[in-house]
Structure 1
Amino acid sequence: MNIAEVPDKEADYSVPALARGLSVLGMFNAHTRSLSLQEIAERLGVSNSAVYRILFTLTNMGYLNKHNTQYELGARVISDGFSYLASRDIVEVAMRHLNELRDRTSLSCHLSIREQTDSLYLYRAFAAQRLSVNIPVGTRIACHRTAMGRMLLTSLSEIELGQLYQLVRLDDYPAPAPRTLLELQNLISEDRDRGWVLHRSDYSTAIAAPIRDHNGHVVAAINLSGPDAVMDSEDVKEQFRALLLASSISISNELGYSHPFG
């Protein structure tokens, strides 16, 4: 048999209608936000009647919206796309940035998420110095006792915070941790407005910043932490805070967050 006569087995499994539907979705981008049926048909190289069924199906499923004679991407495409970004492993996204931050500051960097009233440590960029703060992955610390934990609590409203802590004894913890629910609520409100947290304890200082998802919700937190001897200067703390906030924005952007200031 002549090679030219061998059937293309891969072509046997293709679905032309699906391919056309995906091609239609791929026509839309930042420069092309809407197209008419005629424009889509011309780009696909098919008749208007052939493309109409594709557009009807995509519109019916929420992948396209129709306004008068124009079609544009629907909420389903946008939602599914952002859901994919948000579902990416936060550790995978954050680790490169935290490693770079550690290298620039020579301080330990950590990543944590909230599980009820605990801050769960998911990643650490180890600072190999004699005077360093390194908390192992898997460690759980009460949120109201740490910079990252307090940052994580800013994702909750005052009512949600009250419901979460209504049965929690706060007066069992030593200062500087808040010892009443009202004190905790006031502290977290200040943290939320500030957008970062500085916390001192056990001869060390930590600065924490939020990690946000595509909706702007705080889903994780990162920190820089080191001994007071290194973190004592206000100028140094300001420099470290700026680097930390820049890293938090970069990580959040990779998770789909759009920073309001660019």
Structure 2
Amino acid sequence: MGIHEDELDYRVPALQRGLSILQMFNASERSLSSNAIAERLGVSVSAIYRILVTLTDMGYLRKLGKNSYELGPQVLCDGFAYLASRDLVDIAMPHLNALRDRTSLSCHLSIREQTDSLYIGRAFAAQRLSVNIPIGTRIPCHCTAMGRMLLSGLTPMELDKLYQHVRLDDYPPPAPKTLPELQQLLERDRERGWVMHRSDYSTAIACAVRDHRGDVVAAINLSGPEAVMDSPIARERYRESLQQCADAISLELGGKSS
């Protein structure tokens, strides 16, 4: 929507110039001199001096040498704060729905709450024997593929602290029975980048979702009947599709693809 002519008088030229300056920086032009900035705006250096000082003082610009600038840390902080404020479910669900449509398998999204994997989203495949875990379900992390991916983001020290008062020997196989056994499992999970978990009737494959810091903030899975997932070729195809989906969600959260 354009600006009406009678609204032009309400614009703030200094603010407009300040924002225009920030928009000049990009991947190919990471730093600019004050002369170059002034030239692009069609003004003198003295006309933008106070704007440059203000942007630098607020952290939106960082001064390099005498008359050169680059984007400051505040730009990144503000940008990532916006990304983090977007609801994870809103970001992930279009990707999970598309993955469900491509594979005809159910997809789930979970986050870690202490030692539990909390299911916060699902894309249900409407076929016989589909795996359908309700939103709000909590399952101990060490017992599921998604849970193990959530734990894989922790350091050994963080994991020790989290499980120091938790018994692991009350759960049926193939869940690990001791903390050292869980540590070994997670070490292999980190190297592999995904987890496959088989139960009596179904198989689930899980991958991690990461934010702009590279931290694991969620996990997603593909799960289906054992008969559908039995073929190694099929499982590899599903795993690749799942990883692509996790990468796409991570990118929207400001992260990088695996």
> What TM-score range do you get, normalising by the shorter chain?
over 0.9
Which residue number in structure 2 is paired with residue 57 of structure 1? 54
State the Cα distance separating 1:9 from its structure 2 match: 6.2
Conservation of the 8 A alpha-carbon contact between 2:248 and 2:257: no
Where does 1:4-15 land on structure 2 (aligned, <5 Å)? Answer: 10-11=7-8, 13-15=10-12
The residue identity in structure 1 corresponding to 2:243 is L
Which residue number in structure 2 is paired with residue 5 of structure 1? none
Q: Which of 14, 36, 41 is residue 17 of structure 1 equivalent to?
A: 14
Give the Cα–Cα distance (whole angstroms) in 2 for the partners of residues 244 and 259 of structure 1.
Answer: 12
The residue identity in structure 2 corresponding to 1:93 is I
User: Structure 1: where are the runs of 5+ without partners?
Assistant: 1-7
* CA displacement 1:150-193 (0-9 Å, x = unmatched): 00001100110010011111111111111111111111111111
1:32 aligns with 2:51: no
The residue identity in structure 2 corresponding to 1:133 is V
Where does 1:1-262 land on structure 2 (aligned, <5 Å)? Answer: 10-11=7-8, 13-68=10-65, 69-259=67-257
* CA displacement 1:195-215 (0-9 Å, x = unmatched): 000011242110000101111
Moved more, 212-221 or 39-48: 39-48
State the Cα distance separating 1:13 from its structure 2 match: 4.1
The residue identity in structure 2 corresponding to 1:197 is V
- TM-score for both structures, normalised by structure 2: 0.93
The runs of at least 4 consecutive aligned structure 1 residues that moved more than 6 Å come to: none
SS in 2 for 1:236: helix
Give the Cα–Cα distance (whole angstroms) in 1 for the partners of residues 102 and 54 of structure 2.
Answer: 52
- TM-score for both structures, normalised by structure 1: 0.91
Tell me how large the CA RMSD over aligned residues is.
1.7
SS in 2 for 1:226: strand
State the Cα distance separating 1:32 from its structure 2 match: 2.6
Moved more, 76-85 or 164-173: 76-85
The residue identity in structure 2 corresponding to 1:22 is L
The residue identity in structure 2 corresponding to 1:42 is E
User: Structure 2: where are the runs of 5+ without partners?
Assistant: none
Conservation of the 8 A alpha-carbon contact between 2:14 and 2:51: yes
